Structure 1
Amino acid sequence: MVVGDFSLKDKIAVVTGGGSDLKLTPEAEGLVKTSNDHLAFATCDVSNWSDLKALPTRVTEAFGPNTIADVWIAGAGVFEPKWSSFLADTEEAHYKQMAINAEHPMKLTRIAMRSCLGADKPGVVLIVASGAGITGSYGCPIYCASKHAVVGFTKSLAQADADEDFKVVCILPGMVSTPLWTGEQARAVHEQYSYTDDVCITPKKVAEAMVEMVQLGKYRGGSLMEVAKGNLRGELESRQSVVVTGPEEKEWADRCYGPIREVFGRERGGAGKGANGVH
């Protein structure tokens, strides 16, 4: 049992970071207003788990009772803000950049799985990482660490596609022409990180690759795709610690994955949960 081909037609998607911030940009606000009720906006601080856990309820409020999101995009992220960088180091208790870039995609995936399993339906999570998830940079070590974290997380959930009919994949864009680089507050980092329009790809190109990863069955759970200038479709290896191919591997997998399968089995079909699949 794998998700396989998964058309987006008539599907509901949750996208964190879709408004570019905790509030809509003027462009996003105009899109919502003219969407004929096909789009809805909900304020969500992705570093606040209460906001994330409320998303299934926000879906039903926007699109009707018993509606469940089919696709979940972990798109919100920040790039080395001074308040949460390794060099400025102004935060006392933690690096919030890790909560936004790494913890939020993991928690969103868990919420998505509960929601889809509760409705006994397949689902897809696509995590927006970065090319920094497979390389390092002395200039932005926490950002790189946060993106490495979600790449490893995606690889680790490959088995959920076969076991639970739930696919988790990850896209790794290079520099993209978004407000992260083009906005007023980003000008200070242009020279430091050698930003130019020539090295950037467009948001449209990234979106097209994301649609492919969600819809096409050839991108199975655990798949990684790098999208960068001159390398629009660079599929990366997603190596597993154990590949189940024979009786010995199956015996190992049954023993190792048994407790995980037991938890998901209890969650499937809505046992012990509300209609939106959240405790």
Structure 2
Amino acid sequence: MSGRLNGKVALVTGGAGGCGLAASELFAAEGARVGIVDLPSSDGSRIAHALREAGHDVVFAAADVSDAAQVAAAVASVEEAFGPITVLMNHAGILCAKPFLDTTEEDWDRIMAVNVKSMFLVTKAVLPGMLAAGGGSIVCTSSISAVVGTPMEVLYCTSKGATHMFARAIAVEYRDRGIRSNAICPGFIATAHGLREIDTLGKYGVDVTEAAIAAAQGRLCRPEEIAAAALFLASDDASFVNGAHLFADNAYTAL
């Protein structure tokens, strides 16, 4: 590894599974001190221990990122361990795949809380320290579903559209204070989250067969490919990339 995040403190929400885990591991390998924030029921504690055993500086802070008090405590825990956070990856997210008329107000509230409110809460908690440290990078995990309407996913698409504009608006407001904010937009991914989405959509009659995915994006994306894209946005290599939407979808949205 080339130490592209040497001297940086990174916080990854949803950092104990899927692409979040891949990012936590890669950021640590690239020299960052990493705070993994995930649910108490996640593997976060075990993962952090394993990464420390491998020689990295990693802590786990359990939190439901849709809860303001838990977010504040988690961010404070990471800052106490490592100092101000200079890389934030707002990755935590959930799915809601069902016919729109079958969705409920509870479905809406939960997906907006985890996918959108969490970004507001975590970013607001992290920004004061990031500004005091002289700047930093925020990466928000969006999706192709922010710009491509997908059947049975009206709520999910709406939440990712909000992610798109959150990342862009933060970039505009804080550009002149040393903050970069960008969104990364994956296609279908070979994670438990992604495979569950494919399985659910298939049960509702959406064509997400292997052949259909191959036609749309060639193959399933690997979590480490999303982590590598996030590393670029987090690192100084992307020093003039701000307010951008980086699509990691192998031309899905270009067809």
User: What TM-score, normalized to structure 1?
Assistant: 0.69
Name 2:89's counterpart in structure 1: 73
**Secondary structure in 2 aligned to 1:212?**
helix
CA contact (8 A) 2:48 2:58 kept: no
**Secondary structure in 2 aligned to 1:110?**
helix
Structure with bigger RCO (C-alpha 8 Å, 6+ apart):
1
What is the 5 A alignment of 1:45-194?
A: 45-63=64-82, 67-80=83-96, 86-92=100-106, 95-117=109-131, 119-182=132-195, 187-191=199-203, 192-193=205-206, 194=208
CA contact (8 A) 1:128 1:171 kept: yes
The one-letter code of the counterpart of 1:72 is L
- Structure 1 residue 50: deviation in Å? 1.2
- Structure 1 residue 206: deviation in Å? 0.9
Q: Partners of 2:72 and 2:47 in 1: how far apart?
A: 23
CA contact (8 A) 2:139 2:167 kept: no
Task: Indicate yes or no: 2:200 matched with 1:203.
Answer: no
Structure 1, unaligned runs of 5 or more? 1-5, 235-279
Greater fraction helix: 2
Q: Partners of 1:17 and 1:187 in 2: how far apart?
A: 21
**Secondary structure in 1 aligned to 2:125?**
helix
CA contact (8 A) 1:200 1:229 kept: no
What is the 5 A alignment of 1:26-45?
A: 28=47, 31-32=50-51, 34-36=53-55, 38-45=57-64
Name 1:272's counterpart in structure 2: none
The one-letter code of the counterpart of 1:131 is I
Q: Partners of 1:229 and 1:116 in 2: how far apart?
A: 33
**Secondary structure in 1 aligned to 2:59?**
coil
The one-letter code of the counterpart of 2:248 is V
| Corresponding residue pairs, total | 221
Q: Partners of 1:188 and 1:138 in 2: how far apart?
A: 11
Which entry has the higher C-alpha Rg, 1 or 2? 1
What is the 5 A alignment of 1:12-23?
A: 12-20=9-17, 22=39, 23=41
- Structure 1 residue 37: deviation in Å? 5.3
Instruction: Compute the RMSD of aligned alpha carbons.
Output: 3.0
- Cα deviation code 1:29-68 (max 9, x no counterpart): 66345343511111110111111122331113433xxx11
**Secondary structure in 2 aligned to 1:76?**
coil
**Secondary structure in 2 aligned to 1:41?**
strand
Q: Partners of 2:180 and 2:202 in 1: how far apart?
A: 36
* Large movers: runs of 4+ above 4 Å: 90-94, 190-193
Q: Partners of 1:79 and 1:92 in 2: how far apart?
A: 13
The one-letter code of the counterpart of 1:96 is R
Q: Partners of 1:12 and 1:218 in 2: how far apart?
A: 17
CA contact (8 A) 1:160 1:221 kept: no
Alpha carbons of 1:172 and 1:195: their partners in 2 closer, same or farther (altered >3 Å)? farther
User: What TM-score, normalized to structure 2?
Assistant: 0.74
**Secondary structure in 1 aligned to 2:238?**
coil
Structure 2, unaligned runs of 5 or more? 18-37
What is the 5 A alignment of 1:206-221?
A: 206-215=226-235, 216-217=237-238, 219-221=240-242
The one-letter code of the counterpart of 2:230 is M
- Structure 1 residue 80: deviation in Å? 0.6
Of residues 24, 28, 31 in structure 1, which corresponds to 2:42? 24
**Secondary structure in 1 aligned to 2:64?**
coil
Name 2:23's counterpart in structure 1: none
Q: Percent identity, please.
A: 24
Greater shift, 222-231 or 136-145, is seen at: 222-231
CA contact (8 A) 1:161 1:221 kept: no
- Structure 1 residue 24: deviation in Å? 3.0
